[in-house]
Amino acid sequence: MRHTRTAIAAVAACAALTGITACGGSGSGSSSSAASGTYTFWDPYPQFDGTSAWGKLVASCGTKAGVTVKRTAYDTTDLGNKALLAAQQGDAPDVMLVDNPVVSTLVQAGILNRMSDVGISTTSIQTNIIGAGVVDGSPYGVPIGANTLALFYNKNVLAAAHVDPASVKDWNSLTAALKKVKAAGKKGITFSAIGTEEGSFQFLPWFWGAKGDLTHLDNGNGEAALSLWKDWVSQGLAPNDVLNNTQTTSWQEFATGQYAFGENGTWQLGNAKKAGFPYGVISIPGQDGGAAPAPTGGEFVTVPVQKDSARYKASAQIVSCLTSDSSLLATDTTLSYVAPTGTAQSQQVTATPELKPWVAAVATARGRTSDGLGTRYPVISQQLWTAVQGALSGGTSPRSALEAAQKAAENHQN
């Protein structure tokens, strides 16, 4: 999720256009023969150049496959748009790394190969992590890692309020802890409820933790989650600016040292170490206890459709190299991801013990497009974050907001 903000809605809208060329951009893929020795690779990591560990890994995987990799890095949104255009022009890259919720959109557009069709095994990947890349029972990519959400907590703030973090086991105990913190003169919890995919991403653990159903936003269960957030804001246990908070600005609030809890992701571990106060991490609790399912973030390595099917052999070798346990360990350490295989996860925790709660969080995480949602997710998500905004701003009740969201999602899909 770290790399994506509005990509899901943008790519889905792009795919829906009658003329895909309206999405703009230009392809830089390759449809030349397999004997050319040059394979194109697109990824959403413009922050990493050819001298970076990631850039060197991609190049080395090409070398091991006996080819030269020409790597191009795009912004995540640009990558999805250019992929659609390039495929329409018969100029798709040989290998492409895309944000996990975009996979189903690209499959619907006929751009991606099934992993089984190009000889790539996915049996070692955790089922819930690969779920975001599965369409009609078939994986169309391999995840290079996953990130998800949990609650960071400030040990100093909790100690001053006489709150034991181990006592936070469900929503009631969490709310009780927030009230103690407020009474002690500190601030409760910060999160992102902004009107974008980030807002939905952060709301989903609470929605799913109440057994909410994305296909029936108004079934009553999700209402409890929205009421919880609304009550926190109205009681001053969470700040009003959550309505405008991105995950970055929410983290900046937590980093002031005034907040007891901050909902954020694996990618903030480096910043947590620099925060200047002792911190801990706990799973986001479900309404009645246990860890709530949180959404998975992260990218999938895919093999786009080519005119020359002979190219798939080298492409598959590149994918297999990038997703081997040794490569996953190196990549996920660089990206602050949790590896998608048990073997690599064990190695990560041995090397970095503070990853242990994140491995547990990823184990219960859920793909946003899983359960057959696929390309319906962007529409549902937009209505979900609209409902959150409406309820938290005081403009409507949680029930009315979710009823309107469900009706709008149904009208859009019909």
Q: Work out the pLDDT band at 412, boundaries 50, 70, 90.
A: confident
Rounded mean pLDDT, 353-367? 89
SS3 191: coil
Residue 163 tokens, joined: 């709150």
The pTM score is: 0.82
Model confidence at 7: pLDDT above 70: no
Fold of 149-294+373-413: D-Maltodextrin-Binding Protein; domain 2 (3.40.190)
Do domains 7-146+298-363 and 149-294+373-413 share one topology? The answer is: yes
CA angle 105/55/129 to nearest 5° reads: 40
Measured distance CA(12)–CA(244) in Å, rounded: 24
| Nearest-10 crossing angle of helices 197-209, 377-392 | 80
Q: Is the pLDDT of residue 104 over 70?
A: yes
Quote the pLDDT of residue 1: 62
pLDDT band at 20 (very low <50, low <70, confident <90, very high): very low
With beta carbons less than 8 A apart as the criterion, state whether 85 and 25 touch: yes
The predicted structure's pLDDT at residue 4 = 43
pLDDT tens string 141-176: 999 999 999 999 999 999 999 999 999 999 999 999
Q: Count the neighbouring beta carbons within 10 Å of the beta carbon of residue 60.
A: 14
Which tokens is 118 given?
């190009």
Task: Judge contact between 135 and 302, C-beta under 8 A.
Answer: no
Decide if domain 7-146+298-363 falls under CATH 3.30.1490.100.
Answer: no
For the cut 60, the answer to whether the pLDDT of residue 217 exceeds it is: yes
Residue tagged 């907590």 (tokens): 153
Residue whose pair of structure tokens reads 């949602």 in the numeric block: 373
Give the pLDDT mean for 170-192. Answer: 98
Percent of the chain with pLDDT over 90: 72
* Domain extents in the chain: 7-146+298-363, 149-294+373-413
DSSP conformational letter for 283: P
| Confidence bin at 371 (pLDDT 50/70/90) | confident
Mean pLDDT score of the chain: 89
DSSP 8-state symbol, 399: H
Pair of tokens at residue 358: 């994140």
Beta carbons within 8 Å of 73's beta carbon, 6+ residues apart: 42, 43, 44, 45, 46, 48
Would you call 142 helix, strand, or coil by DSSP?
strand
pLDDT in tens, 253-265: 999 999 999 999 9
| Burial environment of residue 47 by CB neighbours within 10 A (0 to 12, 13 to 18, 19 or more) | exposed
Give burial (CB, 10 Å; 0-12/13-18/19+) of 10: buried
